[in-house]
A and B are shown apart, each in its own frame.
Chain A
Amino acid sequence: MKLHSNPWLRTAYARLWVRAKSIYGEPLWVAVNIGFPFFTSFSLTMVYRAYGLNSFTGFAILGGVMISFWGNVLWSMASQFNWDKQVGLFEIYITSPAPISAILVGMSLGGILGTAPSAAMVAILGWLIFHPPINAIWPAVISVFALTLASLYAMGMALSSLYLAYGREADSVNEALHEPVSLISGVYFPSTGGFSPFPLAVQAGASLIPLTLGMDALRRTLFFGQGFGELYLDLELLALAVMGVVLLFASSKALKFLENKGRRTGTIAVRQR
């Protein structure tokens, strides 16, 4: 199938291109994006190291890598349609024949491409400075990483429809969500399983967030040498895949609902600031 003959693919490609171009067209973005995840990851790695816990230093570096993507999901996926609405772009999306799902998927792929350099820099710098012990099964690491990003960005798509319904609350909700989700997802330490200090109910609740399962699965494959065929890892991969599909479906339905509601009530282009 040729790209130019399929409107869905053309739309997704166009949105991906715009997002990727906005990052790679301004190389300073990479330097800018690396600041927060690198220093947080560095400090928490130092906590592990300063208190003689060298074998866990990789957890904090991996956390720095994944927090870059989580930040991108919150600020560049979930809030994006709300910002697009404020500048009048969203009504163009709606009135054009471009499928909204293609815009979301293009935005996600562009976001992943744009965040990858800064995430890679955190990983490289962390590895060069701290030399964390790694015992990786690489095919499993790559599969888990891909599935985690897929379900994480699907969550971003679902949140984007939720945020669209709100106005300036979106920024404050984002700020409020960032740290608590990082905490219960165990970005810098295991929040589920045997190492977790949290009660079982909290662990169960946390497991409903794709980031939690993804972080746990990444730690298993990257540091504990687990690969395909390990029961718990396979279950986590399956859960991540199911979450990705469900969230993708939910985001599509929610956006359609908000679009129809916006058309009926005449609020689709109303800017809320």
Chain B
Amino acid sequence: MSIRAMVASIRVGWYREFNWTNPLTGFSLRTVGPLASVIAASTVYYVGSTNNIPPSFDPSRLAFILIGAALYAHVAAYSWVPTLAIAEGKWTYVFPQVYISPHSSLPYLTGRTLASFVTSTMTVIVSLVLSFYVLSSVFHTDIPFMVNPLSVSLLFLAMLVNILAALGLGLLLSAYALFATKFEWALPTYVAGLLMVFSEALFPVSFLGPLSPIANVLPFTEFMRASRQAMIQGGTVYSYFSYLGLAALGGIIVLALGFLAFRYAENRARRLGVIDKKTA
């Protein structure tokens, strides 16, 4: 895969995301959504638990939800970028042009994903910090976060490892987007919704009953668990690396599947002549 093409695609991704305004406005607008969703999910727990009879508020559960909601917003923000790049690219004639230049579609999609990964990492870190302070002061509680250079480094490492699974998922969805001429944005919406349920973002997956084994094998679930081990008091390095290893293994499998599916879909789409097809 051409590194030069990928770096160029990362720049294209940033231009696409921020070039309509100044970077500060663009960044602020992109941070507001994740910040609000993190606070909303945490407030749901707070309102329910403090009004329960007897009250059952537990700061460590709040920390669990806060981390999960923030990282879910992070994954949801960038894993569907390849699909968007294809769907939007078909309408603007960008994707057919990318496709006909030699060996460019995969570096292009990877670059767009990485650009969005960097952006969403920044917005999610800002929203995590802001929501921590807002919720601590509004709820008058100490959220048991563990913030030191090691824990933050481990969180970043987990986020980096999760790129494998997110890119794999993005390529799987892209394989579909090559053929879709309508509602191509709908499948990523469903997948993002399923991830909210199955990735242990907001509640332990054991509550899913017979469906919990599905959640337990997802690399996104292991990523969430590793991140919580890194950031919430009581986490251990052994558990962190166990979950991270599982996240990496699952990520490699999803990436390989995504790569194979995309290559197959690309060849088939070319034979069928749908690479630049815009209407059903």
Using CB atoms and an 8 Å cutoff, list the residues of chain A in contact with chain B: 28, 31-32, 35-36, 38-40, 42-44, 46-53, 56, 60, 168-169, 172-173, 175-176, 178-180, 182-183, 187-190, 195-199
Task: Collect the chain A residues with CB atoms within 8 Å of residue B189's CB.
Answer: 32, 35-36
Instruction: Pick the residue among B37, B48, B183, B192 that contacts A189 (CB under 8 A).
Output: B48
- When the two chains form their complex, are residues A197 and B36 in contact, meaning their CB atoms are under 8 A apart? no
Q: Which residues of chain B come closer than 8 Å to A175, judged between CB atoms?
A: 29-30, 33
B positions within 8 Å CB-CB of A: 20-21, 26, 29-30, 32-37, 39-41, 43-52, 56, 61, 65, 138-139, 183, 186, 189-190, 192-194, 196-197, 201-204, 207
Set B36, B65, B194: member contacting A182, Cβ < 8 A: B36
Interface centre among A51, A60, A172, A173, by most chain B C-beta atoms within 10 angstroms, is A51
Q: Determine the residue in chain A with the shortest Cβ distance to B45.
A: A47
Which residues of B have CB within 8 Å of A39?
190, 192-194, 196-197
Known: A53-B49, A176-B33, A180-B33. A169 touches B20 (CB 8 A): yes
Can you name the residue of chain B whose Cβ is closest to the Cβ of A48? Answer: B48
Residue of B nearest to A46 (CB): B203
CB distance from A102 to the nearest CB of B (A): 29
Question: Judging by beta carbons under 8 Å apart, are A183 and B29 in contact?
Answer: no
A28 touching B183, Cβ below 8 Å: yes
Q: Which 5 A-B pairs have the closest CB atoms?
A: A39-B193, A53-B48, A179-B36, A50-B203, A32-B186
The CA of A53 and the CA of B45, in the complex, are separated in Å by 9
Answer whether A46 and B202 are a contact pair too, CB < 8 Å, given A175-B29, A180-B33, A190-B47: yes
| A51 lies within 8 A of B45 (CB) | yes
Most chain A beta-carbon contacts within 10 A, residue among B35, B50, B51: B51
A39 to B37, CA, bound (A): 14
Interface contacts beyond A32-B186, A47-B65: sample of 15 additional A-B pairs, CB < 8 Å, sorted by A: A36-B192, A39-B193, A46-B207, A48-B48, A53-B56, A56-B51, A169-B20, A172-B21, A172-B26, A179-B36, A179-B37, A180-B35, A180-B36, A189-B44, A189-B47
